[in-house]
Amino acid sequence: DGDATFAAVDLGASSGRVVLGSVRPDADGPDALVLREAHRFPNRPVEVRGTLYWDVLDLYRGVLDGLRAAGRLTGGAGPAGVGIDGWAVDHGLLDENGNLLSNPVHYRDGRVAGTREELEALLPAAELYAATGIQHLPFNTVYQLLATRGTPAFREAHRVVLLPDLISYWLTGLLGTELTNASTTQLLDPRTGDWSPRVTEAIGLDTSLFPPLRRPGDPAGELLPEVLAGTGLPGPVPVTTVASHDTASAVAAVPAASPRFGYIATGTWSLAGVELDAPVLTEASRLANFTNELGLDSTVRHLRNIMGLWLLEECRRTWEAEGPPAPLADLLAQAALVPGPGPVVDAGDPAFVAPGGMPARIAEACRRGGQRAPRDRAETVRCVLDSLALAHREAIADAERLSGRTVDVVHVVGGGARNELLCRLTADACGRPVVAGPAEAAAVGNVLCQARTAGIVPGGPDAGRALLRRALPLVRYRPRGSGADWQRAAERAAQTRKER
Ligand code: LFR
């Protein structure tokens, strides 16, 4: 039994966790996959002298604490393997001895200002899209590298290492660049699965700065003796390359029964779209700001990044700085009583990427669009959730139109699957049934990939998805209403953008 328990390290923008997943593929019901959270720890970015950093050593400590807790939960036996996933795009710089040269910068930091224009002068946006299929987000790795390449740290850098790969390096001593996450850099060609010479030559980037590419399922090494000693785990513990981009792992954990599904991976972001066999690199797809990220089993996620629950987390951060805590359950219960859809903002607007003052920024956007601003916290929360549901509706409709894939059902996975109001509004806005769960989708996808690699679950997307449908409690929401009110809301939201 110990042979089938895997530890998933999953790093999110607001928290990290180590989840144990025990897989018994021949079991009929919930026993087929039993999840236990070994440890959860906050992810608290730090601003120093005007730059927003990830506290990557604190995160690494959380990972070690989590592995120690995983050892205890398995009665000292330890997990049969470890896999690491996390958010995309960000990187650390290593010197030739493998030492971290500077603290990794948060993708929400403002250092990338002006780099879009810089890149555009070297490579027109249409060519960049045709080469990479990646939607413009101000913080894509390509822009971060342009922002950092003049710095002493970059000049000293021997390696550029994506964050989940950095954690993996510290655990194993071995370097690699995991493919699904590499696809988010906007430096990779999704058709070849290799760096795009078109882009790397345009910016003069030496791709040997990136450790060799590796794919989900590739071995990533074993926990180092010092890690075993520090966590009390008995060795050897293999580390497996999983789909290290959390969204890739999350979509691998969508328990869909037919290919005609859309998904919304909700957490700090909402990633809404469809799963395809090949990228959609059309001009229409670029103008709709749709991305083509690589997934498990050579799939492509054709999706749009939507602000997600970040909007709500940031509102709560402001309110808690002003006074007593604003418990989420209370806010959601009050928001459910507010009639809607009321005032809405464009939840795809990159104007909301930066932290701080979110309730005021939302109110201002509503007024800019000729709507009244939310009057209190309940209305603000309702505005956020209505806006997210609306953005989900538009992304699913655009995904269908751009890819030609029909969507009969929308799966909501990730933390937002626990948010009943968000799921209900999403079903209404999309005019399609919503199936919610699993909430720990990235960890589940991480575990599944390890179980496949160990030969416990058959390969390919379907076997894992069938196992999840048997094992997991899923909640269904039927759409209500005609959608006319959401159509009108869409027109209002479109008026709220600062730059159009
Ligand atoms: C979600 C996610 C998104 C990516 C964003 C920034 O956690 O990985 O897919 O666009 O974070 O890395």
Nearest-CA residue for atom 11 of ligand 1: 87
Q: Which atom of ligand 1 is nearest to the CA of 87?
A: 8
Q: 87 C-alpha vs ligand 1 centroid, how far in Å?
A: 5
Closest-CA residue, ligand 1 atom 10, reads 88
What is the band of 500 on the pLDDT scale with cuts at 50, 70, 90?
A: low
Ligand 1 centroid to residue 31 C-alpha, Å: 31
pLDDT confidence of 2, banded at 50, 70, 90? low
- Please report which confidence band the pLDDT of residue 283 belongs to, taking 50, 70 and 90 as the band edges: very high
* Model pLDDT for residues 411-440, shown as the tens digit of each residue: 999 999 999 999 999 999 999 999 999 999
Q: Please identify, by atom number, the ligand 1 atom nearest to the C-alpha of residue 265.
A: 1
pTM over 0.90: yes
List phi, psi (to 5°) of 288.
Answer: -80, 0
348-361 pLDDT, tens digit each: 999 999 999 999 99
Quick one: tokens of 55?
């506290």
User: What was the pLDDT predicted at 326?
Assistant: 84
Q: Considering only CA atoms, which residue is closest to atom 9 of ligand 1?
A: 247
Atom of ligand 1 nearest to the CA of 13: 7
- The catalytic site residues sit at 246
- What is the position in ligand 1's atom list of the atom closest to the CA of 271? 9
Which residue among 91, 184, 446 has the greatest number of ligand 1 atoms within 8 angstroms of its CB, and so is best to mutate? 184
Q: Indicate whether 267 pLDDT > 90.
A: yes
* 369 has a pLDDT exceeding 70: yes
Nearest-angstrom CA–CA distance, 276 and 267: 22
Does 401 score more than 80 pLDDT?
A: yes
User: What residues are paired with 411 via a beta bridge?
Assistant: 263, 435
Atom of ligand 1 nearest to the CA of 293: 9
**Shortest-distance Cα residue to atom 2 of ligand 1:** 87
- Give the model's pLDDT for residue 461: 86
pLDDT greater at residue 1 or residue 360? 360
Q: Give the pLDDT confidence of 27-54 residue by residue, as tens digits.
A: 989 999 999 999 999 999 999 999 999 9
Average pLDDT, the chain: 97
User: Hey, which bits of 95-236 come out as E strands?
Assistant: 159-162, 177-178, 188-189, 194-195, 213-214, 219-222
Choose one of 246, 306, 310, 446 to mutate for the ligand 1 pocket test, by most ligand atoms within 8 angstroms of C-beta.
246
**Phi, psi angles (nearest 5°) of residue 60:** -65, -40
Which residue puts its alpha carbon closest to atom 7 of ligand 1?
87
Query: 305, 307, 352, 440: which to mutate for ligand 1, most atoms within 8 A of CB?
Result: 305
Cα separation of 342 and 358, whole Å?
Answer: 18
For residues 401-412, give the mean pLDDT: 98
Q: How large is the average pLDDT for residues 73-97? A: 98
Q: Say what the pLDDT of residue 498 is.
A: 78
- Closest-CA residue, ligand 1 atom 4, reads 88
178 Cα: distance to centroid of ligand 1 (angstroms): 15
What ipTM was assigned to the predicted interfaces of this complex? 0.99
Q: Is residue 140's pLDDT more than 60?
A: yes
What's the confidence (pLDDT) of residue 499?
Answer: 66
User: Considering only CA atoms, which residue is closest to atom 8 of ligand 1?
Assistant: 87
Q: Which two tokens stand for residue 29?
A: 């019901």
From ligand 1's centre to the CA of 344, what distance in Å? Answer: 23
The tokens describing 301, both together, are 């996620």
Identify the residue whose C-alpha is closest to ligand 1 atom 6: 88
Task: Tell me, in angstroms, the distance from the centre of ligand 1 to residue 54's CA.
Answer: 14
* Residue to mutate, 14, 54, 87, ligand 1, most ligand atoms under 8 Å from C-beta: 87
CA of 125 to the centre of ligand 1 (A): 21
Q: Which residues line ligand 1 (CB under 6 A)?
A: 87-89, 107, 245-247, 267-269, 271, 305
How far is Cα of residue 163 from the mean position of the Cα atoms in its chain? 13
Q: Which of 288, 294, 311, 413 is nearest to 358 (CA)?
A: 311
For 174, other C-beta atoms within 10 Å of its C-beta total 16
Q: How far, in Å, is the centroid of ligand 1 from the Cα of 350?
A: 14
Is residue 340 within 8 A of residue 312, CB to CB? The reply is no
Nearest Cα residue to 163 out of 43, 263, 254: 43
Rounded to the nearest whole angstrom, what is the distance from the C-alpha of residue 310 to the centroid of ligand 1? 11
- Confidence check: pLDDT of 403 > 90: yes
Query: Which ligand 1 atom sits closest to the C-alpha of 247?
Result: 9
